[in-house]
Structure formats: C-alpha cells, structure tokens
Amino acid sequence: MKKLLVLFTGILLVFALSACGQKTQEDVVSDLDEKLEEMKGYKANATMTLKMGTDPQSYNVEIWHKNPSFYRVNLKNSEKDQSQMILRNKEGVYVLTPALNKSFKFQSEWPKNSSQAYLYESLVKDIMEDKNATFKSTDKHFIFETKTRYQNHKMLPFQEITLNKKDLSPVSVKVMDSDHNALVTVKFSSVQFNTTFDKDAFDMKKNMTGAQLEVPVMGEGKDGSFAVKYPTVKMDGVSLTEEKDVTIEDGKRVVLTYEGQKNFTLIQEKAEVVQTSLVSKNINGEPVDLGFTVGALTGNSVTWTYAGVDYMLASKDLSPEEMVRIARSVQGTAVKE
C-alpha cells in the first residue's frame, strides 16, 4: 500500500511540475507587455501574400522600428519593379514612391490608428486589447486569434497571430474574412530585436536616394498608354455604365463610371515623374494599406499609384470600408465586367 501511495504521489508531482511549465494565455500576454516595455526596436523581413484580386500577389516587406515612434517599412514586388516605403520620423509620416521620385507627407497617427499585420507592436496591441482573443499552445508556438482594427474591419475582422515560444517573435499572421478565409498572409523570415540604427536611418531624403539605387526613376512614357484596370469585387446592384477616354497633355485619362444602388467613379492616368524629390506633397487624409501599395484615404476618395499609373476612386455613396475594399481589388488582371 505504501509503495502504491508513493507511486501515486510521484505521478501527481510529475503532473504538477509539467502543469507549472505550461504558460497560460494571461502569462503570455503579460510576457508580451513586458517585452514591449523593454524593446528598443527591431528589424524584420517578411513575405506578404494577398488573395484580394484574381491572382495571389506576393511582396517582400522590410520593417525597421526604433522606439518610440520611428518606422521604415519597405514594400517591394520584384516582378513588377514596384517599390514603396512608409517612413515615420520626427517630421511626420511619409509615403515614398522612388520610381516616380514622389513623396507624400501625412499629418497622421499612423500606425497607431489601425492594425498593421507586419508590425510586431501592432500585433501585440491587438492581442492585449481583445479580451475575447482565443489562445492555444503547440510544441514551438503560441497562437492567438484576435479581432482587427482595420479601417475595413468588416471585410477583414479576424487575424491569427503565431508567435515563437522561445522569444515571442512573430512567425506568421493570417488576416481573415468573416468566413475565416485568409486573404492576407504575412510570413516572417527573420526578426532581430534591439538592433541599432544609424543616425539618419529614418531620414526621408536618404531613404529616397537609397531606394532609387534599387528601383531607378522611370523615364517619361512616349505615349502615356497603360492597361485599364477594373475592380474585381462585385457590388450588388452596381454596374459599369460608362468608360470614357479623355485626352490630356501627356497621354490619356480613363474615367470609369459605376452606377446603381451606390455610385462611384474610378479615374486612371499615367503617373507623372517628379523632377525633384526635395518637396513632399501634403495629403489631407490617412495612409491606407491596400496591400499591393499604400494609398491616401479621405472622406470621399482613395488615391494611389501602382506600376506607374495614378488611380483615384471617388464616391459620395460608398463608406470608407467599401472604397478600400474596391480599391484593393483593382490590382488584378485587366478584365472588363
């Protein structure tokens, strides 16, 4: 009997010790909070894949962050020679398009005002703020499912965040629709915490010049021609009623008019290469992540540049969420409805 009692006590002790080794959701959230408090910054590399249009699009993302509020996010699509950079420094928030020698300046709280799937501290904030977040632990990972804080959160309401157990670094993020289909996936290939940065690492002019060494400034197009793009998202009771070509000084402007339950206009024209990048154009709006590029969202419009073409989607009927949803779908194959 004594032997059985000793054996039973030993088994209980083993279970108790193993239970002590398992971190609870509250433990991990507390550890994440502590890590953010101690973190001076980081550098990370990731691949972001979007399934918004007809074909999946993949982008390389390079992220630098220096506490408390300096950021450098470089988005590259090697196949299309498309490159954009989001910078936040003491002067403000900039979006750079090196191939066009363009820079836009926003008076914005970015990235605090929305979820950002490739920014570590944004992911941690989403985990900490969602009191209904779900949690599971595997051999190597902690996995959270949380709500998002996107401008178009109705379209992308959920995300699955996978963290490395060893150092709580991000492994992957899946941003999902209401049916839990992953429409945006970010896979991190490297994360280096508490890195050091050069004094001018977040300087706008230095970053524009450096980016142009990788993606040269475009030459002026001879005829201003381009392939017209159409939204791949369908809206009930809305259809394309007119496509009009307007001749302008450097080529053409295409105006697509959609009418029905909600009306909107999509304007496209060849982007102009700016001769000097010393002056940034001020934008009254918020930078909005369209996945394949960064746009400017105002009350009644979204504007963006992609592959050498300027786009503007304008509407008095669409909500900001609906405008972003349509804009995200304009990067697919050029197919008319």
Domains of the chain, residue spans: 25-214, 238-272+298-331
Taking only the tens place, the pLDDT of each residue in 271-302 is 888 776 567 888 888 898 887 788 999 889 99
Identify the band that residue 1 occupies on the pLDDT scale cut at 50, 70 and 90.
Answer: low
Taking only the tens place, the pLDDT of each residue in 206-252 is 898 888 777 667 665 555 678 899 998 888 999 999 999 998 877 78
Q: Which residues contact 37 (CB under 8 A, 6 or more apart)?
A: none
323 with 287: CB under 8 angstroms?
A: no
> What pTM, to 2 d.p., does this model score?
0.84
CATH architecture of 25-214: Clam (2.50)
Tokens standing for residue 316: 């008095």
Phi, psi of 15 (to 5 degrees): -60, -40
* C-alpha–C-alpha distance, residues 270 and 222, integer Å: 11
> How are beta strands 182-193 and 102-106 bridged, if at all?
unpaired
